Amino acid sequence: MKKLNIDLNDLYFFVQVVDRGGFTAAADALDIPKSRLSRRTAELEKVLGVRLLHRTSRRIALTEVGSQFYQHCVAMIIEAHAAEDVVQRTLVEPVGAIRFSAPEGMIDMILSDLLPRFMAMYPKVQVMTQITNRNVDLVEERMDVALRINSQALENSSLVQANLCSTPWGLYASPSFMERAGELQNPADLAALDALVFGMDDEAPAWRLLNQAGEEQVVALKPRMRSDNIRLLKKAALAHMGVIALPRHVCSEDLAQKSLQRVLPDWRPPSGQVRLLFPTRRGLVPAVRAYIEFLKAELPARIALLSGEN
C-alpha cells in the first residue's frame, strides 16, 4: 500500500470547515484555535498541490477539485466510524471468531456436547477448532485459547495457564485379551504383554505407575502399536490387540458396555491436569473471555461425570 503524505486528521478538519461554513465555527466546534485550523488546511493544500477552498473575509467556497476531494473525505470519515464501531461492538458483546485448539481425546466425549451449547448461547460467535495433540505455538499460529492435558505445568512459558481439574488415567484392555493374558500380579507382568503406546518419540516406551500408598514402578513396554492418535489406539484395544493407558473419560462408555476393563486396578498412571492456555489476560475480547469462562464452568463437571468409577 502506498504511503500517505497527508495527515488524516487534516482531512477531518477540512470536512469540519466545509460542514460548518467557515473556520470560526469549525474551530469552536473542535475546540481548537482558529489559527491552527487555518494553518492545517493550508498545509493540506500545500501537500496536495491544489487549492481546495476559495476564501473571503465573510465566507468560504469549495473549488471544483475541492468539492470532489470533500466527497471522498466524507466517505473516509464514515468508514472510519464504521471501523471503530466494529471494534467497540467486540468490546461490549461476544462477537466474531475464536481460534481454539484442543486434543483429540477431549472432542468426542466432552467438547462435542459443550461446543454446540456455547454457540447457542452466543449466536454471533464463530468457533474455529483445531484438533491436535502437539504443543501449539499460540502466538505463531494465532490461537486465542488452547485446551491441554499435561501431568505438569509447561516450563518456561509466557502463556497464562489456568488449571481446571484433574482427569484420572488407568490401564485398560478388552476382556478377551485379558482372558488370554491371564491374571496379572504386579506391574512387572505388563512387560510381557503387547502394549498400545501413545506417542511417536524415539525414547524406549515405558509407563510410570503409582498405587494408593504412593509407591511407584516404571515398566518397560513391548509396544505392539505406537501412534499419536488416541482414537486409533483405543480401537486397537477394543480389537483385543493389547493394553492401553487412557484418561478415564475417554473410555467411560466402553467400560460401561464391558468392551474394556481395568488392568491392575490398584495401579494407574499419574493423573493428567486439564489446563486452558491463552496468551494474555489483558485485552481479551468478550468472545474469547466468554469462551474461557464457559469452559471453566462446564468442563470440570463434565470430566468428573465421565471419569467416575463404575
Average pLDDT, the chain: 88
Q: What is the pLDDT of residue 89?
A: 67
Q: Is the pLDDT score of 217 beyond 90?
A: yes
pLDDT for position 126: 94
146 and 162 in a common domain: yes
pLDDT at 201: 78
What's the CA gap between 67 and 63, in Å, rounded? 6
Domain count of the chain?
3
Of the residues 61, 92, 123, which one is the last residue of a structural domain? 92
159-187: pLDDT as tens digits = 888 899 998 999 999 999 999 999 899 99
Which string of DSSP letters, residue by residue, matches the chain?
A: -PPP-S-HHHHHHHHHHHHTTSHHHHHHHHTS-HHHHHHHHHHHHHHHTS--EEE-SS-EEE-HHHHHHHHHHHHHHHHHHHHHHHHHHHHHS--EEEEEEE-GGGIIIIIHHHHHHHHHH-TTEEEEEEE-SSPP-TTTTT-SEEEEEESSPPTT--SEEEEEEEE-EEEEE-HHHHHHH----SGGGGGGSEEEEE---SSPPEEEEEETT--EEEEE-EEEEEES-HHHHHHHHHTT--EEEEEGGGSHHHHHTTSSEESSTTEEPPPEEEEEEES-STT--HHHHHHHHHHHHHHHHHHHHHHS--
Residue 258 has pLDDT above 90, yes or no: yes
Distances, alpha carbon 153 to alpha carbons 68, 173, 249, 272, 275, in Å: 61, 29, 21, 10, 9
Q: 128 Cβ partners below 8 Å, 6+ apart?
A: 97, 98, 99, 100
* Per-residue pLDDT, 4: 67
Burial 154-177 (b: 16+ CB within 10 A, else e): eeeeebbeeebbbbbbbbbbbeeb
Give the largest Cα separation in the chain, rounded.
106
The mean per-residue pLDDT over the stretch 271-293 comes to 86
> Do 191 and 69 sit in the same domain of this protein?
no
Res 307: pLDDT: 80
- Does residue 234 sit in the same domain as residue 88? no
With a cut of 70, say whether residue 90 has pLDDT above it. no
pLDDT classification of 285: cutoffs 50, 70, 90 = confident
What's this model's pTM, rounded to 2 decimal places? 0.65
Nearest to 238 by CA among 250, 222, 228: 250
What is residue 310's predicted lDDT score, i.e. its pLDDT? 42
Domain that holds residue 35: 8-92
* Angle, in degrees to the nearest 10, between helices 23-30 and 8-19: 120
pLDDT score recorded for residue 294: 94
Nearest in space to 167 (alpha carbons), one of 73, 299, 60, 75: 299
Q: What are the grid coordinates assigned to 270, written together?
A: 499419574
- Structural domain contains residue 2: no
Task: Give 229 or 238, the one with higher predicted confidence.
Answer: 238
pLDDT at 300 over 50: yes
288 inside domain: yes
Say yes or no to pLDDT of 41 above 50.
yes
Residue 205 and residue 70 share a domain: no
Q: Are 104 and 231 in contact (CB under 8 A)?
A: yes
- Position 281 confidence tier, pLDDT thresholds 50, 70, 90: low
* Confidence tier at 91 by pLDDT (50, 70, 90): low
> Cα separation of 52 and 65, whole Å?
7
The answer to whether residues 62 and 186 belong to one domain is no
Say yes or no: 161 and 278 in one domain.
yes
Residues 68 and 193 in one domain: no
pLDDT in tens, 108-166: 766 788 899 999 999 999 999 998 888 888 888 999 999 988 766 666 567 888 899 99
Question: For residues 193 and 207, what is the distance between their CA atoms, to the nearest angstrom?
Answer: 13
* Grid cell digits, residue 149: 492435558
Give the end of a domain, one of 77, 92, 107: 92
84 and 23 part of one domain: yes
Whether residue 94 contacts residue 286, with contact meaning beta carbons closer than 8 Å, is answered with yes
Q: Is 37 exposed, middle or buried (0-12, 13-18, 19+ CB in 10 A)?
A: buried
Q: Which residue, of 92, 108, 125, is where some domain finishes?
A: 92
Q: Does residue 265 surpass a pLDDT of 90?
A: yes
Q: How far apart are CA 52 and CA 57, in angstroms?
A: 16
pLDDT for the residue 3? 63
